[in-house]
Structure 1
């Protein structure tokens, strides 16, 4: 079974591309969603988060206070690095367990915005980067995330690996530029991975 990563900067459309693979019956692991689940349910990680960020990290009811945690790490690179260094290894283990449960499939996908930054590409066989022009990404995000300004979006982009670097490191690129159709690109890769992982 192949383990394929899918990444791309904010607003490139990696979630749309992942959904197309899911429609084709490919199991998709959404690293961002699973990271939230792991932070809630993994006891060892909960203890690490409490030790690193204090008792306000979780409410009295035991719920993760995401707003508090975001406030702690936003604009603080050291704290953000600490948070990622605690969460990413647990998510990596969670992915391994999840992937093993789909061993009967030719391949699985792991969707993660920070695939290269978190070093989680190392547990994968190949990586797809979804690419989109900057102006188009900003336009999409302003429409989708109405609470964000263009400055907010650019600040997020500045914290992510550049588009050029992600494209350079990937084995495959899907262009989501409103010029090339994405479905044929997905179908071509699906056929390739299905044969290689069979």
Structure 2
């Protein structure tokens, strides 16, 4: 089985490409969704985050995201500690998920494919690329965030140029090139 790592910046269209792959019969693991589930349900993550931040980090509803954000916002050391707790568990969860798949291809969608180290668990990497202004426009339409907040989030991640350089494949989601043929060509290329 060939494992594809899908990445791209905010508003690039990673989720659209992941959906197109799913519609083409390629199972896709959505790392962001699964990591949120794991932070609430993994005893390992709960134990380690509680040890790091105290019992108030979890409420009866699950992880207190605002409290966690207050600890890691502008604190790179604590952010790294949290990532060292969550990323290995997501990686284990993804590996177990892969073993249950039966198709010749599967994928993981992760905005932080390279930063998290998830790229080490895949066979090939795919970057969904869109120009920055288009990404900002899409994010403004989709998220309830200001332009400044979106730009701050963009600047906190690895640059598109570096992601593009590190990726094996690039799909352009620039409103000029159709996505479906690009996804079809990728699948054809990987299966041949």
Pick the TM interval, shorter chain: over 0.9
Aligned runs of 1:90-169 on 2, under 5 Å? 90-102=89-101, 104-145=102-143, 147-169=144-166
Measured in 1, the distance between the counterparts of 2:177 and 2:67 equals 41
1: CA distance, partners of 2:27 / 2:45: 25
TM-score with structure 2 length normalisation?
0.97
Normalising by structure 1, we get a TM-score of 0.94
Q: In 2, distance between residues paired with 1:177 and 1:76?
A: 34
Once the two structures are TM-superposed, the CA of residue 55 in structure 1 deviates from its matched residue by 1.3
Structure 1 runs of 4+ aligned residues shifted over 4 Å read: none
Q: Does 1:186 align with 2:187?
A: no
Q: Distance in 2 between matches of 1:51 and 1:9?
A: 32
Deviations 1:149-176 (CA, angstroms, capped at 9, x unpaired): 1110111111100000000000000000
Please report how far the alpha carbon of residue 71 of structure 1 lies from its aligned counterpart in structure 2 after TM superposition.
2.2
Q: Which residue does 2:66 correspond to in 1?
A: 67
Post-superposition CA distance 1:6-39 (Å, at most 9, x none): 0001110100110000111111000001101111
Alignment-derived partner of residue 8 in structure 2: 8
Structure 1: give runs of 5+ residues left out of the alignment: none
* Unaligned stretches of 5+ residues in structure 2: none
Q: Alignment length, in residue pairs?
A: 192
Alpha-carbon RMSD across the aligned residues, in angstroms, is: 1.0
